[in-house]
Structure formats: C-alpha cells, structure tokens
A and B are shown apart, each in its own frame.
Chain A
Amino acid sequence: MRGDPAFIRMRDTDCMTRVAPSLLGEQAGLSTAGGSIGDFIALLKPRVMSLVVFTGFAGLVVAPGDIHPLIAGVAVLCIAVGAGASGAINMWFDRDIDAIMNRTCGRPIPRGAVSPDAALSFGGVLAVFSVMLMGIAVNWMAAGLLAFTIFFYIVIYTMWLKRRTPQNIVIGGAAGAFPPMIGWAAVTGDVSLASISLFLLIFMWTPPHFWALSLFREGDYAKAGVPMMPVVAGQRATKRQMLAYTLLLAPIALVPAWLGVAGLIYAAIAVGLNVAFIGHAIAVLRERDVALPAHGAGKGGHRAAKAMFGFSLIYLFGHFAALVLDRAPGLVELLGS
C-alpha cells in the first residue's frame, strides 16, 4: 500500500482534497488484498504503546514486594496488549476525523487497508484477552485497573470528551496515567498513595504535552472539528495554561521521592527535568503567535512548541527511567562510595 500513488499523494498533501473520495472513510474502496500484518500492528499505535509499557514496567519495578519474573513479564505484556487494543478501537471510532487530519490520514482505516469492522473486532478481542489474562495470571486488581483504563480511553476520552470540550485531554489524560498504577497493582494487589503519585505525574504532564502538539497542529484539529485548546481558546490562552500546568507539575513530580517511592537519584533528575520543562513553557509563552494559514494546514512556526513537545517525551521517559535506576541493585551504593 505504501507504494500506491494514491497513498503517496495522501501523505504528501491535504488528505481530503487530494485523495480520491473512494479511498477515504466508510466506503474506503478497501484494498481487496485486506490488511497486512504491518497494518494490524499500526492499529496498536506502537509508539504510544512503548511509553505505556515503559511506565507500566517502572510501576512494577518500584512497587514494594516480590513478583515472579515470568508473572511480571505477563503483566507488562497485558498492559501492552490492552493499550494496543484501546488504540485499535480508538482508530475505529475516529476514522472519520483521522481521514481529515494530515497527521492521521495515513492510518490503516482511512487508507483503506483495514476495514472498520476488522479493526473493531481486532481491538475488542485483544482487550478481552489482555484483561482476562491479567486477571488469571497476575491478579484481579491489576486486571480491573486495566479494564477501567481501556474503558476510560475509549468511552470517556474518545467517544465522549474528545469532540466536545477543550478539556478533553485534561480529563482524558487519566487513561494514559493508569499504567504505572497497573504495574504497581500487579505486584501489591492494591492501590496506594505512592502509586497514585505516579498516576498524577503523567496526568499533570499530559496537558502541556498535548497542547504543545496541538499548537503546531492547530489547523489539523480545526479542520477536523476537534475542540483542542488552541482552536477554542486561542494560542495565547493555551500557552498560559501550559505554563500553569508545568508549574503545578514540578512539585507533583517530586512527590514520589517525598513518599519514599524513589530516592536521591530520582529527585536530582526530576529537579533538572522540571526546570528545563518550565524553561520550555516560558519559551513557548514568549514565542509569537502564528496565524492559521487560509488552507488550515497550520504547520509553520511554533519552533518553541515543537521543541517543548519533543522535550516532553524525554521528560516523562527521564522520570520513569530515574525511578527504575533508583531501584537498580547497588547503584545508589556505587554512587555514594
């Protein structure tokens, strides 16, 4: 499919105006060959999955208690498959707006590689399998949290909030924040203040992360009618809120150290990352607003927002890597000697 001239046109230019209508949406003129394995893997949103898996793994590592390495591996696998299932069902529901946005029109459903029904079945089966396996192999608290995460992402975020309110990713961000709690529950079988602190770290990180993206993808969201903050409240208000969230996030990021979930390595890295993140937010605020071009592509400018978006990924990865490092056997003693 990637070699198809129609697909190349679709990726290079505006999706709706350049692609034959038969390649878009419901009457997608589905590829008669059906989806390839790669298309079905793409439905799982592997890049999102990697961050989810890593944060879930970190929650599992820092939780107090013991877990058999194989059971831990199964827990991480279930988190990965559950996240992938959510991604597939999200792509099924959002296929109409995915076909409009430049960022998403190359996804398997709008491209016509996988039928919407096949994507829904694929996601549904994987969701059930991941939750049941988590329950049977690990424990039912972790399975319940995984099921709730999938429900929250699909029903609360994708179906309800995403197209209705600019607070969509503020509330919906909870879905992406649950994985460390699931990893923690896989070990302890419960929910604690410490695991909630890991949840809060991702929950508060999500708005500035997504709003940075939506600043330089504003035209895409406006075209698709998704009420992201810059579309509804304007760039200036969005930038102010991004700074407010990064300022609130900084003390929250230190709570795991305060609660004893993490030690000095984490605290030192967290301080550095938060100072840098606030610096990025200030740079975004100071950057000149960019008027949307008439065609709505909205790709120009926003250098600071793009830099902040890239850094936000390092920020989250850095915090959870630090959590894991703090628990690495002998590392603290080595640094202290």
Chain B
Amino acid sequence: MNAPQTPANDERARRQRARNWAIFLALAAFVVIVYIVTIVRMKGG
C-alpha cells in the first residue's frame, strides 16, 4: 500500500531520499578513507 500522494508525503519522501543519499555518501567516503589510509600506512607513512 503506497501512501497517498499529498504535498506533505512528497516532502517526506524528498527529505528521506536526501538523507539516504547523505548516508550513502558518508559511508562511501569512510570506505575510501580507510582504504587510502591502509595504503599509506602500508607504505610506512
């Protein structure tokens, strides 16, 4: 059952999407940082 399309629901969905993207980007950044740090430390940095 989808919620009826109302301005409030649209806004809720838009903000939910924005938060999901932010969490995705933060986690991706974390993975990249850990990967690069590992490389740097393995080279003795």
Q: How far is the CA of A70 from the CA of B8 in the complex (A)?
A: 43
* B-chain residues with CB within 8 Å of residue A192 when the two chains form the complex: none
Q: How far is the CA of A36 from the CA of B12 in the complex (A)?
A: 10
Q: How far is the CA of A293 from the CA of B4 in the complex (A)?
A: 51
B45 touches A70 (CB 8 A): yes
A74-B37 contact given A32-B12, A33-B8, A129-B30, CB 8 Å threshold: yes
Q: Is A136 an interface residue (CB 8 A)?
A: yes
B40 touches A68 (CB 8 A): yes
* B-chain residues with CB within 8 Å of residue A71 when the two chains form the complex: 37, 40-41, 45
Taking residues whose C-beta sits less than 8 angstroms from the other chain, chain A's interface range is 10 to 19
* A-chain residues with CB within 8 Å of residue B34 when the two chains form the complex: 133, 136-137
B8 touches A36 (CB 8 A): no
* A-chain residues with CB within 8 Å of residue B33 when the two chains form the complex: 74, 77, 133, 137
A33 touches B22 (CB 8 A): no
Q: Which residue of chain A has its CB nearest to the CB of B14? A: A33
Q: How far is the CA of A316 from the CA of B12 in the complex (A)?
A: 42
**Consensus secondary structure, chain B interface:** helix
Q: How far is the CA of A103 from the CA of B19 in the complex (A)?
A: 27
> Which of these, B19, B36, B37, B45, contacts A136 with CB under 8 Å?
B37
Residues 41-77 of chain A: 1 if any B CB is under 8 Å from the residue's CB, otherwise 0? 0000000000000000000000000001011001001
Q: Is A294 an interface residue (CB 8 A)?
A: no
B22 touches A40 (CB 8 A): yes
Q: Is A37 an interface residue (CB 8 A)?
A: yes
* A-chain residues with CB within 8 Å of residue B30 when the two chains form the complex: 129, 133
* B-chain residues with CB within 8 Å of residue A35 when the two chains form the complex: 15, 19
Q: Which residue of chain A has its CB nearest to the CB of B44? A: A68
Q: How far is the CA of A74 from the CA of B33 in the complex (A)?
A: 8
**Shortest Cβ gap from A64 to chain B (Å):** 18
B8 touches A32 (CB 8 A): yes
> Which of these, B12, B19, B22, B37, contacts A137 with CB under 8 Å?
B37
Q: Which residue of chain B has its CB nearest to the CB of A77? A: B33
A70 touches B37 (CB 8 A): yes
Q: Is A300 an interface residue (CB 8 A)?
A: no
> Which of these, A34, A37, A74, A133, contacts B22 with CB under 8 Å?
A37
A70 touches B40 (CB 8 A): yes
Closest 7 CB pairs of A and B: A68-B45, A137-B37, A33-B11, A33-B12, A33-B15, A34-B15, A37-B18
Binding site for A on B (CB under 8 A): 8, 11-12, 14-16, 18-19, 22, 30, 33-34, 36-37, 40-41, 45
Binding site for B on A (CB under 8 A): 32-37, 40, 68, 70-71, 74, 77, 129, 133, 136-137
